[in-house]
Structure 1
Amino acid sequence: MHFNKFRLKAAGPLVLMFFLNVLAYSQERSDSLPVRLMFYNTENLFDTVDDTLKEDDAFLPGGLMRWNSARYFKKINSVYKTIIAGGEWYPPAIVGLCEIENRKVLEDLVYRTALSNYGYGIVHEESPDPRGIDVCMIFRKDLVRVVDHRAWIPSEISKDKFHSRSVLYVKCAVLGDTIHLIINHWPSRRGGVLAGEPMREEIAEMVRNAVDSLYCVSGNLLKVIVFGDFNCNADDPVISTLLKSRIPGEQILFNLADHHPAGVFGTYRYMGNWEMLDQVIVSQGLLKSSSGLIADTKNFRIFSPDFLLRNDPKYPGMTTFSTYSGYRYIGGFSDHLPVLLDIGFR
């Protein structure tokens, strides 16, 4: 399949004009523009090749979801469009992604779409998730330099008994400043709210302890962003575990998603109710920075353009324009909305 032909055919004239304008405008970036961070749960971005070590059979041409090359490349195209549009004239510097099957899928996204114009690099680690879906990151190499990256799982659980996504840690240099990124896709609540709760608690404690360790080195200057799909709302007790430092008297982390209470709007809709599963949590050192990178609570938001939404067929209001509705293919983008954070520089 010739991907460029597929991409242009799939885009309508107005959409195509928008993306061409993005391409032109982004070449003229000023250093005064903020560094944009995005997180996006892509909803089962599988390739069409059988991985005998993973439970990916449903997303094969002969599988339950009737996945095929045309649907795969349409999905790749949809993710690329969302990333470009999320940049709003300037493609994001950092994009955390989840529900990506493997590195080859990332390479198709980065090298076989118009994202190739921006020199994105890839950070990817295979996770022990049974279905093979991973947490990963792409980044603008003209703005971001990756210093180190690792996959984390709770030390209390052996790797052969950990059946979920690992947490991706990435240490970066951005515009001469150092920032630590911790990207998450916590165990799902499939089977009820309490399903996966013990594992989420283990991961929350692991991430909190890692942040405490970083704080012991950098103190109030620590700049860290913990973000991703936590599979729970911002007011869930397990998020409180993550936010509560074990260092006496210190409140290191602040959840920007607190300003987006579930029920009003969110990143995921279930049975007519919006939930705020995708969150961005930052260190006080990033919020109160006197030099270098700086974040502001008002610069976090849900990215919800019309093309990512559709009328909910069962409940009043809008819902996400997902790729599948149950087992039925509807050809949309994802069952989650992305979140954005603009990071300034002083």
Structure 2
Amino acid sequence: MKFLLPMLFMMSSLSYAKTFKLMQYNVENLFDTRHDQNKEDYVYLPLNVKNRIPGMNEYCAKQGSPFNVNQCLNLDWTEPKLQRKLQNIAQVIRSYDNSGQGPDVVVIEEIENRNVLNQLATQGLRGLYRFQVLLEGEDERGIDIGILSKYPVISAQRYPLVINGQRVGTRGITGVALNVEGKTVAVFGNHWPSQSNPVQFREASARMLNELAKQSRADLIVAAGDFNTLPTDVPSPFNHLVDFVDAEREARKVNRNLHPGTHFFKGEWSSLDHIFIHKSSKMKPRFDRFQIMNRPFIMKRDERGSGQMIPNRFDFDNATGYSDHLPMTMEFEY
């Protein structure tokens, strides 16, 4: 009997462990159908709107490749197409598990503004995410970082990227503090400067993230998003994230069958997307539950030579598909 009581207590404690669930997802150019002033969102507009914008042809002519020029001039981004993409992205988020309720928090990259984030939350994900954060940044095209949460937002702030005293025209970092049943969870949403920018821009982003996390006293500090960093980057920006643990790296130690990456480019997989966990966090990371969500319905056969199943990116002409990235998820116990 003296052994039974402690065992029952342990079983009871385990059964009452609560879980906080996080997803990050680059949704690839999720724009609404309205032109935002002072933003170069011209590609993703209806043709009847494009044709009324002064200087449109001149702007499109500067878009480089014939494909980009043609898309800028002729892509007809209509309201029905937007609604289809919203439903498709919502389907992916709902597929987090069999409940169809999605994770507790979703960090979203490449979303244009609060209007389209609200449409995603109130239409495709109706009733699931009461709290929404999107703070406009300096990105020239107008893409930003959005955060959907089932838990109340205590605070939210966007931190612009500053190099040599000058703000860089990019997304910066969006930080939110959440009240998760009395626990404070700090989530930093990231979309670092692309590979077309010098690696020093991503190094500066890494240093800023590490410093922001140092200032937090949250029970869980997590950074998620598209870090646009490759293993070939020299020096590696991730060298500056000295106080963080890479969830994917740890997860691969316990699950060797994880999908090889979140992004497929030129015949190779990589994880531009990451979830980093600060070492001071008190919530327990469940690396055995980490996912790269290669759901069959969001994959398609690569017809350009590799024959692999790759992300079925959204086709802006026929309104099918999802994104060129796969979502990444992580769970924590408290």
Question: Which residue matches 1:111?
Answer: 122
Conserved 8 A contact 1:234-1:279: no
CA RMSD between the two structures: 2.4
Of 312, 315, 323, the match for 2:314:
323
| Number of positions where the alignment pairs a residue of Structure 1 with one of Structure 2 | 287
Question: Which residue matches 1:27?
Answer: none
Which letter maps to 2:192?
W
Is 2:315 the partner of 1:304? Answer: no
Question: Which residue matches 2:112?
Answer: 101
Is 2:157 the partner of 1:147? Answer: no
Residues 330 and 119 (structure 1), Cα distance of their counterparts in 2 relative to 1, 3 Å cut: closer
TM-score when normalising by structure 2: 0.79
Which letter maps to 2:152?
R
Counterparts of residues 65-144 of structure 1 (less than 5 Å) = 65-89=75-99, 90-113=101-124, 115-140=125-150, 144=151
Counterparts of residues 119-198 of structure 1 (less than 5 Å) = 119-140=129-150, 144-156=151-163, 161-190=167-196, 195-198=197-200
Counterparts of residues 1-346 of structure 1 (less than 5 Å) = 32=17, 34-62=19-47, 63-89=73-99, 90-113=101-124, 115-140=125-150, 144-156=151-163, 161-190=167-196, 195-214=197-216, 218=217, 223-233=220-230, 236=233, 237-244=235-242, 252-258=243-249, 259=251, 265-286=260-281, 289=282, 293-314=283-304, 315-324=306-315, 331-345=320-334
SS in structure 2 opposite 1:148? strand
TM-score when normalising by structure 1: 0.76
Which letter maps to 2:320?
G
Deviations for 1:177-208, whole angstroms, at most 9, x for unmatched residues? 11211110111114xxxx34221111111111
Which letter maps to 2:226?
D
Question: Which residue matches 1:21?
Answer: none
Q: CA deviation at 1:235?
A: 7.5
Q: CA deviation at 1:118?
A: 2.4
Conserved 8 A contact 2:259-2:294: no
Which letter maps to 2:111?
I
* In structure 1, C-alpha distance between the alignment counterparts of 2:219 and 2:119, rounded to whole Å: 35
Residues 167 and 312 (structure 1), Cα distance of their counterparts in 2 relative to 1, 3 Å cut: same
* In structure 1, C-alpha distance between the alignment counterparts of 2:17 and 2:74, rounded to whole Å: 49
Give unmatched runs, 5+ long, in structure 2.
Answer: 1-14, 48-72
Deviations for 1:223-268, whole angstroms, at most 9, x for unmatched residues? 2101110012468543433322xxxxxxx3111122559x971000
* In structure 2, C-alpha distance between the alignment counterparts of 1:126 and 1:180, rounded to whole Å: 19
Residues 272 and 70 (structure 1), Cα distance of their counterparts in 2 relative to 1, 3 Å cut: same
* In structure 1, C-alpha distance between the alignment counterparts of 2:298 and 2:259, rounded to whole Å: 18
* In structure 2, C-alpha distance between the alignment counterparts of 1:39 and 1:162, rounded to whole Å: 24
Q: CA deviation at 1:41?
A: 0.5
Conserved 8 A contact 1:59-1:67: yes
* In structure 1, C-alpha distance between the alignment counterparts of 2:26 and 2:136, rounded to whole Å: 17
Max Rg structure:
2
Conserved 8 A contact 1:37-1:95: yes
Question: Which residue matches 1:24?
Answer: none
Question: Which residue matches 1:6?
Answer: none
Q: CA deviation at 1:330?
A: 6.2
* Runs of 4 or more above 4 Å deviation: 30-33, 234-237, 327-330
Residues 278 and 58 (structure 1), Cα distance of their counterparts in 2 relative to 1, 3 Å cut: same
Conserved 8 A contact 2:158-2:175: yes
Give unmatched runs, 5+ long, in structure 1.
Answer: 1-29, 245-251
User: Identity across aligned pairs (percent)?
Assistant: 27
